[in-house]
Amino acid sequence: MPPSATLLLKLYTVDRFSLRMVLVGWTALGLFVESGSETQPSIDTGALQVSLNEGAHQLRLYRSGPDPDQPLSTKALTSAGRWVPCSTVLVRVARAPVDENGRALSRSQVPEADWAEMGLLRPRPAYSEGGYYSSSARPTPGEASLQAAMSH
């Protein structure tokens, strides 16, 4: 997998009035970062030291998809337009557990009772305790006001 590999998610929902499927928004996450930083590699070269972008991430949703004239990256999405107010997605990235031969394990290979022990079932972090990396998704003052108004 190239160092600039990007996870691109397109989120849909069913409109409760029309019962039609509608697009909520797009988000992206660089699967790798330059070692020792939070920067997604922009080039694919073997000389670059990269690390898996492991952990729990809170990602903003954007109204439109990435710029098709740019290579796919988080920057191609975030620079393309506005975000959807008060809307984020929680994503967790983790190394795949491996068997004794170094091959990735699958839940279909392991009895369900052993999933947690084998690393195939991981508890989700507590959001309220800051378990997600959320710096790029902090609410703006306007979003905070909107959230406060909607919760009363």
Model confidence over 6-22: pLDDT tens digits? 999 999 999 999 999 99
CA angle, 89 then 76 then 61, to 5°? 20
Model confidence over 20-69: pLDDT tens digits? 999 999 999 999 999 988 888 887 766 788 999 999 999 999 999 988 88
The total domain count for the chain is 1
In a domain, 152, yes or no: no
Model confidence over 90-137: pLDDT tens digits? 999 999 999 999 999 999 999 999 999 999 999 999 988 889 998 888
DSSP string, 41-68: PSS--TTS-EEE--EEEEEEEESS---T
What pLDDT, on the 0 to 100 scale, is given for residue 53?
Answer: 95
Rounded Cα distance between 98 and 114, Å, is: 14
Q: What pTM was estimated for this model as a whole?
A: 0.85
What pLDDT, on the 0 to 100 scale, is given for residue 11?
Answer: 98
In a domain, 1, yes or no: no
Domain of 88 in residue numbering reads as 6-146
